[in-house]
Amino acid sequence: MLVWPTGGARRRLTNTFPPEKTSLRVRFPVTGAGLLAAAVTGLLIAGPAGTAAALALGLTARHFWRAQRQQRNQLALAEELAAGLRLFTAQLRTGAHPAAAAEGAAEEAGAQTADLFRQMATAARLGGDVAATLTEYPAARGLQQPLRRLARAWQLAERHGAPLADLLESVRRDLARRCAFQRDTAAKLAGPRATAGVLVVLPVLGLVLGEGIGAAPLALLTGTWYGQLLLVVGTALLCAGMLWTIRLTTSVVAP
């Protein structure tokens, strides 16, 4: 866990090496093999209820990692789009054609949004529907709302003759403010997330403390039918609390 690659490291390596020669896809820490190992370990330690508890905890942990990674990816995509729009509007203000401006933005934009600007340039050059290109872009993971706002701004400029650069700049400023708000909210939620992590560990510490004072809670949980039932119910409540905490801490304003 100490040497797990961060998002910044992946971005630096992606910029250093060509994408086709770089494989930086990070899998979730809780894989299928990990779940199987946890299930077997739970079976050996606490019987069938231990298997159910281990699987529930593993699936909850995987859901947590997926939610965290999705949130980081969406924020990175939104920030790349905002940076590309800054270049795009700057070239529009110099008098460049929208197709040429989109091509220039694609050359300087991030790897994940460059293809979007290239498709915009192609549609603008051929006289196609750029707004439809924005709303139907297939790889817009987490960018549906910003692209819809861009499409509406483009349609407004085409129908009413409003300055395209001004409209797109307003969308870019709004997107940049949303990204800043999301980063600020994520930083402020670090404390509640740490508290939730402590609360998750407390039941385990309670078992250890019980064993230390001679109460033998593990023997109760593993050797009796009602102990097995209590283990399943307790794990279910613990996972429900974790899922509810994840939902509360990730329900921020999406870019």
Distance from C-alpha of 128 to C-alpha of 18, rounded to nearest angstrom: 31
3 in helix, strand or coil?
Answer: coil
| Assigned domain for 88 exists | yes
Residue indicated by tokens 């992590």:
197
Rounded average pLDDT over 136-145:
70
In a domain, 162, yes or no: yes
Asked if the structure places residue 211 within a domain, the reply is: no
Q: 13 lies in a domain? A: no
Closest-CA residue to 63 (of 75, 55, 73, 52):
55
pLDDT tens, 7-23? 566 556 555 554 443 33
In the chain, the amino acid numbered 251 is S
Predicted pLDDT of residue 12: 61
Residue 5 belongs to a domain? no
Does residue 235 fall inside a structural domain? Answer: no
Chain-centroid distance, C-alpha 83: 19
Is it the case that residue 52 has pLDDT exceeding 80? yes
Q: Is the pLDDT of residue 33 over 50?
A: yes
Residue 128: HSE in the Cβ half-sphere, 13 Å Cα cutoff: 14
User: In total, how many domains does the chain have?
Assistant: 1
pLDDT at 106 over 50: yes
Q: How large a percentage of the chain has pLDDT more than 70? A: 83
SS3 assignment, position 157? helix
Does 126 map to a domain? yes
Domain around 91: 75-185
Judge whether 127 lies within some domain: yes
Tell me which amino acid residue 159 is: R
Which H/E stretch holds residue 250? helix 225-250
